[in-house]
Structures are given as structure tokens and as C-alpha cells.
């Protein structure tokens, strides 16, 4: 509605409209991911009010991670068919509805429907795949930096709302904690409706970093890919060593972040006598460090071998998880963990996206990365349920922390088995594409 006048105004001042798209996508991913992080603060309040144990709540909440991941490849199809603005507005409305209705639930099955199904579907349509598509559509240069910024919004959004939620829970009850996310969804949806556009050619401008002397692109007709296209893409890349390694390491990434720390950290701290507000503040501190760490990771992935970056990210994360049970859970010990772990929370995404583009081509990056991200969320669901079961059976999270740390060390070694690709300055174009990636989706 206001996109074209805004684009003209910015172009006259030598500012590319792509940065407005980045800002809108940043807010979208931050808000939708905040809805995923919020349930982690509610495990103990829900258990206290309804008598549900940690395993029951965790198994229900694990579904949102599964849907969040599995919808990634299909969200690329929905966006191609119906446009970013439509899909984002529908997704944010679905999340806002699930936030409002959950305050009236009385049964575990209602939590399953609202925060398992509805929240999973809504957040899945605005997953990290959206950020990869925006970066590849709007940016020829600075793509790694953009991916880093958008990825940081996803992880940070899951954490920064938690201190506010914990304060609201303590003073007004858990139902009040959904209000900030509900309002953020509505405001962001309005901004997206007014200013979001799919591609630079929709506004008559070039992709950021393109040759300024090249002719302006024409508006491309909308693609009508069949809904089962992601399954064809999965079949075509499933035998690729690069895909298997990236999917396996991203499974471990989700297992060691969203599923374990995001979901169970507040409950873990409660076992050591730390109340919800300081525990949530530590998570917020992780989010702050993650914001800078992930942006820096995007900058590094434009300049250095992404395999080596991932080796260090996974290995250092594994060491931090080994150390956490021995941190004494003092404010000092947890602050050190928050800084060290937070810088590495989801810094794995920019180099993983770069390796995906280098191996499978820029046009298929969104869909192939969607399946890799699905593996990430399956890992998150595994840890969300598994850690809850371990806590219920053994009354401690320590074995789950050790298992996740060991898995991270394995991921660091796995990624070094990939062939080196020139994924830096080539703008995401494959230098030596894998045989399975030869057909453009």
C-alpha cells in the first residue's frame, strides 16, 4: 500500500528498499520465534495449576518444534504462490489467536491444539526459511550479513521476551505473560501489510549489489509450483553427502539449543533454587550475546571457510554444555555460560545457509535449507521431549546436558567431512554443484 512511495523516497536518498524488507522480516521472525520461546517459561506454572508433569507438558510442546521445522520447505511453496505479505499476515494472526485462546484452556488436549498445532503451523510459515528467501531475493552483496541479522532475530526473539514473561507470571499469573507476544503479532502484521513486497522488481528497483548499469528487471510472473515440489527436492538431494551432513549437524544444533536450553533452562535452574525471573534474565543475556554472535557469524561466513566456522561453533558449544552442570548455578557462573553459549546459540545458521547455496544453487537454497531446518526442529523436538522424560525419571537434567554436549562434538567432526566449496563471494552460486542438485526446482 505504501511500499512504492516509500521505495521512491528511499531511492532518492540512495537507500535500498531491501533494508526495509530486512527490518520487516526481522520483526516477523523475532515475534514468531518469541511465541516459541514463551512456553519454556510456563512449564512450572502450568504444572502447578493443572497438575501436569514435565513429561506431559514437554511432549505436547515438542509438537510445535516438529511443525515449525517440517513446514519450512512448504512455506517456501506458500510464499511463491501467495506472496510474503499474505503468508506472514496469516501466520501472525494464527499465532496471535493461539496466544489469546490458550488463556481459556482447562485440559491438556487444548494445550496440544493451541500450542502444539496452531502455534507450530503459525511459526512454521515464518521460519528461518523466510530469512533465507529474503536474503537471496533482495541481496546480491552482503547476503551473509543479512542472513546473520535475520537469524539473530529468530534466536533473540525466543529469549528477550522471557524476563518480561517471568515478571508478569510472578506478579499477575501466567495468562498475563502472553500479552506482549499477542500485541507484537498484531503490530507486526499491520506493518507487513502496509510495506512488504516480494521482490525488488515489484518496485522497479535492482537487487542490492547488482550492476547499476544493468537494465531494470521486469516483474516476474508468479510461480505455481505443485504443493509436493518440496518432496521432489528432498528426493533429489537425499543421497547427497553434503545434504546428509548438513541435516545431521543441524539436527544436533536444534537438539542442543531450542529443544534443550530454550525449553528446559528455567526449569533446570529451578532445580538448583534459582527462581524464574533471574533464570529468564540469563536466557535474555544469551539472546543479547547471540544477536551479536550471529551477525558476526554472517560477516565471517562471507570471508572464511564455512566448514571450519561450523567446526568451532559446534565444538565450543559442546564444551559449554559439559561445563553447565558444574557451574554451581550461581549468578556469576551462569553469566559466564550465557556469554559463552549465547555467542554460539545459532551462529551455525549463516555458514550452513552458505554451504547450502554453494552445493545446491541459489534458486533452490530456500527449499533445500527448509529440509535442513526441518532436521533442526526434529532435533529440538527430540530434546524437548527427551530432556523432559529424563527429568521426570531421574529427577535431574544432567544426563541430557552431557548427551547434547557429546552430540555437538560429533557435529563438529562431521562437518569437516564435506568438500570445500567457494561459498563466499560467488553470491551463493554453486562452484561445483553436487550431482543431485543439477535440476533447478
Residue 410, pLDDT score:
96
pLDDT digits (tens, 9 = 90+) for 253-269: 999 988 898 788 888 98
Residue environment code for 406-425, b if the CB has 16+ CB neighbours within 10 A, otherwise e: ebbbebbebbeebeebebbe
Instruction: Choose among 363, 372, 440, 427: nearest CA to 69.
Output: 372
Residue 116, pLDDT score:
85
Which cell is 187 given? Answer: 503490530
> For residues 162 and 168, what is the distance between their CA atoms, to the nearest angstrom?
10
How many other CB atoms are found less than 10 A from the CB of residue 429? Answer: 13
> For residues 64 and 66, what is the distance between their CA atoms, to the nearest angstrom?
5
pLDDT digits (tens, 9 = 90+) for 221-259: 555 667 778 888 889 998 999 999 999 999 999 999 888
C-alpha of 197 from chain center: 22
Residue 128 confidence (pLDDT) above 60: yes
Residue 219, pLDDT score:
57
> For residues 381 and 106, what is the distance between their CA atoms, to the nearest angstrom?
24
In the numeric block, the cell 533464570 is attached to 279
In the numeric block, the cell 567446526 is attached to 311
Residue 270 confidence (pLDDT) above 60: yes
> For residues 381 and 263, what is the distance between their CA atoms, to the nearest angstrom?
10
**Threshold 0.75, pTM exceeds:** no
Residue 365, pLDDT score:
74
- Is the Cβ–Cβ distance between 5 and 172 less than 8 Å? no
70 to each of 87, 164, 238, how far by Cα in Å?
Answer: 16, 30, 15
Give the lowest-confidence range in 172-176, 265-269, 282-286: 282-286
> Residue 82 phi/psi, 5° resolution?
-115, -10
Name the range with the highest mean pLDDT among 53-57, 121-125, 176-180.
Answer: 176-180
Which cell is 18 given? Answer: 531491501
- Is the Cβ–Cβ distance between 380 and 221 less than 8 Å? no
Residue 440, pLDDT score:
31
Residue 17, pLDDT score:
93
Residue 1, pLDDT score:
63
Give the lowest-confidence range in 57-61, 396-400, 432-436: 432-436
Amino acid at each position: 500500500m505504501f511500499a512504492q512511495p516509500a521505495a521512491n523516497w528511499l531511492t532518492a536518498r540512495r537507500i535500498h528498499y531491501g533494508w526495509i524488507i530486512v527490518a520487516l522480516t526481522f520483526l516477523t521472525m523475532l515475534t514468531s520465534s518469541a511465541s516459541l520461546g514463551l512456553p519454556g517459561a510456563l512449564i512450572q506454572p502450568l504444572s502447578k495449576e493443572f497438575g501436569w508433569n514435565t513429561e506431559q507438558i514437554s511432549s505436547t510442546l515438542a509438537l510445535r518444534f516438529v511443525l515449525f521445522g517440517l513446514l519450512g520447505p512448504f512455506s517456501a511453496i506458500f510464499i511463491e504462490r501467495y506472496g510474503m505479505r499474505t503468508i506472514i499476515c496469516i501466520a501472525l494472526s494464527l499465532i496471535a489467536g493461539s496466544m489469546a485462546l490458550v488463556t481459556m484452556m482447562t485440559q491438556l488436549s487444548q494445550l496440544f491444539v493451541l500450542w502444539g498445532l496452531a502455534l507450530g503451523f503459525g511459526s512454521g510459515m515464518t521460519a528461518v526459511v523466510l530469512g533465507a528467501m529474503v536474503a537471496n531475493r533482495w541481496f546480491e552483496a552482503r547476503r551473509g550479513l543479512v542472513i546473520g541479522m535475520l537469524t539473530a532475530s529468530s534466536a533473540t526473539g525466543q529469549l528477550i521476551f522471557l524476563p518480561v514473561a517471568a515478571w508478569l507470571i510472578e506478579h499477575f499469573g501466567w495468562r498475563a505473560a502472553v500479552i506482549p507476544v499477542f500485541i507484537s503479532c498484531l503490530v507486526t502484521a499491520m506493518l507487513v501489510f502496509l510495506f512488504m513486497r516480494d521482490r525488488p522488481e515489484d518496485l522497479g528497483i535492482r537487487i542490492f549489489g547488482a550492476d547499476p548499469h544493468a537494465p531494470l528487471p521486469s516483474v516476474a510472473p508468479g510461480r505455481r509450483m505443485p504443493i509436493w515440489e518440496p518432496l521432489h527436492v528432498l528426493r533429489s538431494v537425499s543421497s547427497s553427502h553434503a545434504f546428509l551432513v548438513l541435516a545431521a549437524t543441524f539436527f544436533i544444533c536444534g537438539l542442543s539449543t531450542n529443544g534443550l536450553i530454550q525449553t528446559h533452562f528455567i526449569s533446570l535452574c529451578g532445580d538448583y533454587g534459582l527462581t524464574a525471573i533471574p533464570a529468564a534474565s540469563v536466557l535474555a543475556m544469551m539472546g543479547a550475546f547471540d544477536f551479536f554472535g550471529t551477525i558476526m557469524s554472517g560477516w565471517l561466513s562471507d570471508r572464511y571457510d564455512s566448514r571450519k566456522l561450523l567446526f568451532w561453533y559446534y565444538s565450543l558449544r559442546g564444551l559449554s554444555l559439559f561445563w553447565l552442570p558444574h557451574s554451581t548455578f550461581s549468578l556469576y557462573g551462569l553469566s559466564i555460560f550465557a556469554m559463552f553459549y549465547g555467542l554460539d546459540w545459532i551462529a551455525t545458521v549463516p555458514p550452513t545457509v552458505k554451504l547450502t547455496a554453494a552445493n545446491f544453487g541459489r534458486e533452490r537454497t530456500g527449499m533445500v535449507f527448509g529440509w535442513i531446518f526441518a532436521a533442526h526442529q526434529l532435533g529440538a523436538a527430540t530434546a524437548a521431549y527427551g530432556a523432559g522424560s529424563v527429568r521426570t525419571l531421574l529427577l535431574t537434567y544432567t544426563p541430557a546436558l552431557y548427551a547434547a554436549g557429546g552430540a555437538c562434538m560429533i557435529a563438529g567432526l562431521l562437518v569437516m567431512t564435506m568438500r570445500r566449496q567457494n561459498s563466499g563471494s560467488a553470491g551463493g552460486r554453486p562452484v561445483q554443484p553436487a550431482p543431485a542438485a543439477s535440476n533447478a526446482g
